[in-house]
Structure 1
Amino acid sequence: MKEVTIYTDGACSGNPGPGGWGALLIYGDRRKELTGGEKKTTNNRMELTAALEALRRLKQPCKVKLYTDSAYLANCFKQKWYLNWERRGWVNSRKEPVENKDLWQELLKEVRKHDVEFIKVKGHSDVELNNRCDELARGAIPKG
């Protein structure tokens, strides 16, 4: 399997509000930056979208190290929250519908195509590539 490194980040101006996402894919010495935004969204939706869009760009099953500063994203996969959500019909432990179900379901489809390790990094710190994704995400927030 090819080994790919992905860094992702999401940003929002207000929560909810206009938001953007950024991702950086690294394979060998090749890098690809991705961005996008929405006029009305949440920070969590942008975090999930960044990971989803990055994984969608992979053309074949890969071994992926995905770095994120989102505890929401990393913990879901590290602690396997999604297994209980699926078992309960996408209802959380409080018996409420899982927020962002649409994105989680699409993200799970992509994650299951690959061997993905989610790695939580500290946001707004000295992690250069995470900082780059933060710049991409903030730059993708729609203006006005």
Structure 2
Amino acid sequence: MGAADERDLEDGEGRLTKAEVREAWPQIRPSSIRAVARANGVRTSATPSRDLTREPTYHAADVRRVASRIARGEADVASWQRADSDAARDDATPGPPVRQPARWGPENVPGLILLAIVVGLILWGLTSPDNHGTVTNFVR
């Protein structure tokens, strides 16, 4: 590597973010970019990018080299990593809605209050002295 290339790498030039790699590799699923880069020898930075994603940056020359290999069909890419594969189409088709488990939240408060009142009334009715001896006769 020449002195100019080293300077470019130090300055951050010659590096691409994950979003830029996605533009260069439209055939690759976004979730597979890191794996495809690793499998095809794309150099990444040791420090994460300065944007909010904190993803590593990718060496621009390597990305261009792999992009041409992907276009020719010579790159090391599994079929499920391709955006145009059957697996990608299956992931894109909506399936049945997934039922979320019940969660406790503010929308449950009125029902919980009502339940507490009902249980309290039942317990009060069973233990009050004017219930005509229902509990005492039942226990004895």
Name the TM-score, length of structure 2 as normaliser.
0.24
- Which structure has the bigger radius of gyration? 2
The answer to which structure has the higher strand fraction is 1
